[in-house]
Amino acid sequence: MKLWAKIGVLMSAILAGCIIAVLVFSHRSATAALLAEQDRVLLLTAERLAQELKEPLREGQRDALPGMLRGLQERNGGIAYLFVKNSTGSVAAHTFSRSVPEDALHAAVLRGGGQRSVARLPGGEWYQAGVPVETGAGDELFIGEPGQARNAALHALWGRELAAGTLAIAFGSLLCFSVVYRLTRPLQTVVQGIQIIGQGDLDHRLPAGGRDEIGGLAREINDMAERRKTTEDMIMKLNFELEENVEQRTAQLTAANRELEAFAYSVSHDLRAPLRSIDGFSKALLDDYLDKLDAEGRDHLKRIRKASQRMGQLIDDLLKLSRLTRGDMLIEQVDLSAMAREIAGNLQAADPARPVRVTVQDGVTGAGDRKMLRVVLENLLGNAWKYTTKQPQPRILFGMAGNGPSRAFFIKDNGAGFDMHYVQKLFGVFQRLHSDAEFPGTGIGLATVQRIVHRHGGTVWAEGEVGKGATFYFTLGRAA
Amino acid sequence: MTGERHILLVEDNADDELLTIRAFRQNRILTEVRVARDGQEALDQLLGGTGGQLPHLVLLDLKLPKVDGFGVLRRIRQAERTRLLPVVILTSSREDEDLRNGYLLGANSYIRKPVDFDQFTAAVRELGLYWLALNEPPPLA
Ligand SMILES: Nc1ncnc2c1ncn2[C@@H]1O[C@H](COP(=O)(O)OP(=O)(O)O)[C@@H](O)[C@H]1O
Ligand SMILES: [Mg+2]
């Protein structure tokens, strides 16, 4: 129910209550006034009749009294009966067929002697007025009027009052509703405005001209909308700035990446060229001036060549590492068992004399970038192959360990092993736990493995014991 | 007739130039080697003037002053006269990007110069054997 309707109903009810109260009150006094007026008219009639009786009675025509009364009754239609009491209190004459009824007689008493009065007989059927007849003999005239006539007048009064009350209530209610509606209209406008603003149109404003509370409310809401607009504008601006910042950072990052690529490029071009010269001309010296060099000189040149070749290898490995961390990944399901067998086959082919027993567990698969996973297996199997060189019965095992989330791929060998004390160093760039004389290498392989595994969201770790062998584990994180 | 034709070595590094020629000689490849020390010079030799004898083979480095190796290759493939000329990229880089660009622009082969001179000599021997003896060159334009 709308507010204005509620208030309208309430006010109409109050109004109706008031009107009814007023009607009830005025009805009482109007009834009393009506009765008093009718009493007065009755008394006047009685007095007029008494006047007519006065002369004959004074002249002592007492015997003619009943006839005179009957004559008066006939001439005055509204009078139902008449009777006269004499000074002794007995009835001198009357118009009743038999005798004056007890009730009428009982009521026929003039207070204080000689005073006029009107009495309502019990039952309300009759109203009776009494007046003295100025004969000097103490006669009193009583006339009766039927109550029916008075009731009809009262009913008419009732009807008028009811009609007036109904009309007043109807009019009053209409007025109430229209006034309330008029008064609450601004409120409705405000409510609609709030809905519009609430739905996001922050530019909408309420009419705020009114000096009353609703006007104040409208102004308050307008202010609120204004503040919210300011806030939203600010948020938008901040967002915009944030995006700009992100764009700028991205641009910087892209620039840094490009610089890194340029660096890698120049490393591969520019650092290798001098190495080629060093190695090339050392070889030229060894070829062309062999007879002019003693054994030591030749040894020096050989060392120069070896060092430059090693540096070339280091640069190549470093570049490979940087390439692997830059390139895009293509995740697919990879048959690692097949891949491990193929790599082991290549290792055996390159080094046919070695009696290594390689065991590959069947059906080992993992989700990842095929090229990168190949690099991982090549490095781990290559290490196992290399670090079992001094073992008379070398064994390498590839498979899957554990189950559930702790599932990990592993490569186990029974080679040189390492000291667990230095296990943290294993995966660092150029970090080696064995000398180049013992086992040749650049110390980049495991760093590469770690980068790849991390890029797949996995982890890599190792266990080892000097002289007993090593096991390398890795997972592929969510991808696997 | 093949004897009269030469090899064009496009190489800005004097050391590399010397070592490359040395590798040819050690492998007893006696074909004349002409050298261009930057991209522009190479283009002048191949496309400039009335145009003398075309080389049997171009050995092209990528990182060159003025016009780089890719620029030279593009121009070679665009010119009617040199469109079919065998070009072997001989460079230090083995970046995927360089390999892709090289082949896209129509290189016939891509060889990476090894640091180890023994390996380099072996590579030049294979290269000479293949391109100068085994391979039938395209007919002269
Ligand atoms: N299977 C293995 N057994 C014993 N030690 C190993 C094994 N794999 C790696 N290591 C140790 O970790 C070091 C780092 O390995 P890696 O990064 O592959 O470099 P590299 O093999 O070139 O030396 C090695 O130098 C070696 O000391
Ligand atoms: Mg290794």
Q: What is the pLDDT tens value at each position of chain B, 141 positions in all? A: 444 689 999 999 999 999 999 999 999 988 999 999 999 999 999 988 766 788 999 999 998 888 899 999 999 999 988 999 999 999 988 888 889 999 999 999 999 999 999 999 999 999 998 998 888 888 765
Is residue A118 exposed (0-12), middle (13-18) or buried (19+ Cβ within 10 Å)? buried
Lowest model confidence (mean pLDDT) among A70-74, A224-228, A391-395, B50-54: B50-54
> Does the pLDDT at position A68 exceed 90?
no
Beta-carbon neighbour count of residue A453 at 10 Å? Answer: 24
Quick check: B116 contacting A, CB < 8 Å? yes
Q: Which of A 278-337 lie inside 8 A of B, CB atoms?
A: 279-284, 287, 305, 308-309, 311-312, 323
- B69 interaction partners in chain A (CB closer than 8 Å): none
Quick check: B91 contacting A, CB < 8 Å? yes
Q: What is the mean pLDDT of residues A330-336?
A: 94
Ligand 1 mean position, distance from CA B104 (Å): 39
Q: Which token pair is A282?
A: 């050392």
Which atom belonging to ligand 1 lies closest to the Cα atom of A444? Answer: 17
Identify the pLDDT of residue A265.
72
Contact A96, A81 (CB under 8 A): yes
Contact B131, B86 (CB under 8 A): yes
Contact B68, B62 (CB under 8 A): yes
Determine whether the shortest distance from the Cβ of A394 to ligand 1 is under 6 A. no
Ligand 1 atom 13: the closest Cα is on which residue? A432
Could you report the per-residue pLDDT of A182-197, keeping only the tens digit for each? 888 888 888 888 898 8
Is A276 close to B94, i.e. CB distance below 8 A? no
Q: Is residue B31 part of a domain?
A: yes
Q: Is residue B1 part of a domain?
A: no
The end-to-end CA distance of chain B, in Å, is: 15
Which of B19, B90, B100, B117 should one mutate to test binding to chain A, selecting the residue with the greatest count of A CBs within 10 A?
Answer: B117
Q: Is residue B136 part of a domain?
A: no
Is B22 close to A308, i.e. CB distance below 8 A? no
- Tell me the three state secondary structure of residue A395: strand
Give just the sign of the alpha carbon dihedral A425, A427, A428, A433. Answer: positive
Give the full edge-to-edge strand order of the sheet including A117-120.
Answer: A91-94, A81-85, A139-146, A126-133, A117-120
Identify the pLDDT of residue B50.
61
* Rg over CA atoms, chain B: 14
Among candidates B92, B96, B117 on the partner chain, residue whose Cβ is nearest the Cβ of A279: B117
- Whether this model's ipTM surpasses 0.85 comes out as no
Q: In terms of pLDDT, which residue wins out, A280 or A116?
A: A280
Distance from CA of B116 to the nearest CA of A (A): 6
Which of A261, A266, A277, A326 should one mutate to test binding to chain B, selecting the residue with the greatest count of B CBs within 10 A?
Answer: A277
Q: Is residue B140 part of a domain?
A: no
Determine whether the shortest distance from the Cβ of A383 to ligand 1 is under 6 A. yes
| Closest alpha carbon within chain B to A308 | B115
* Phi/psi at B68 (5° precision): -80, 175
Quick check: A277 contacting B, CB < 8 Å? yes
Residue-by-residue DSSP string for chain B: -GGG--EEEE---HHHHHHHHHHHHHTT--S-EEEESSHHHHHHHHHSTT--PPPSEEEE-SS-SSS-HHHHHHHHHHSTTTTT--EEEEES---HHHHHHHHHTT-SEEEEPPSSHHHHHHHHHHHHIIIIIISPPPPP-
Is A283 close to B13, i.e. CB distance below 8 A? no
Question: Percent of chain A beyond pLDDT 70?
Answer: 98
> Does the pLDDT at position A267 exceed 80?
no
Ligand 2 mean position, distance from CA B61 (Å): 32
| Closest alpha carbon within chain B to A313 | B115
Ligand 2 mean position, distance from CA A429 (Å): 11
Q: Is residue B18 part of a domain?
A: yes
Q: Is residue B141 part of a domain?
A: no
Quick check: A269 contacting B, CB < 8 Å? yes
> Does the pLDDT at position A406 exceed 90?
no
Identify the pLDDT of residue A480.
46
Which of B92, B96, B121 should one mutate to test binding to chain A, selecting the residue with the greatest count of A CBs within 10 A?
Answer: B92
Contact A423, A464 (CB under 8 A): yes
Beta-carbon neighbour count of residue A129 at 10 Å? Answer: 24
In a 13 Å sphere around the CA of A296, the CA atoms on its Cβ side amount to 0
* Phi/psi at B112 (5° precision): -100, 130
Q: What is the mean pLDDT of residues A3-17?
A: 89
Counting the structural domains of chain B, the total is: 1
To the nearest whole number, what is the mean pLDDT of chain A?
88
> Does the pLDDT at position A87 exceed 50?
yes
- Tell me the three state secondary structure of residue A469: strand
Question: Percent of chain A beyond pLDDT 90?
Answer: 42
Which run of H or E residues covers position A194? helix A147-198
Distance between CA atoms of residues A459 and A472, nearest Å: 11
Q: Which domain holds residue B72?
A: 6-131
Ligand 2 mean position, distance from CA A446 (Å): 6
Distance between CA atoms of residues B61 and A148, nearest Å: 140
CA angle B28, B29, B31 (to 5 degrees): 140
Q: Is residue B42 part of a domain?
A: yes
Q: Is residue B56 part of a domain?
A: yes
Lowest model confidence (mean pLDDT) among A130-134, A256-260, A372-376, B102-106: A256-260
Is B94 close to A284, i.e. CB distance below 8 A? no
- Give me the CATH number covering residue B87: 3.40.50.2300
CA angle B79, B82, B83 (to 5 degrees): 75
Q: Which token pair is A135?
A: 């004969």
Could you report the per-residue pLDDT of A426-451, keeping only the tens digit for each? 998 888 888 888 898 888 899 999 98
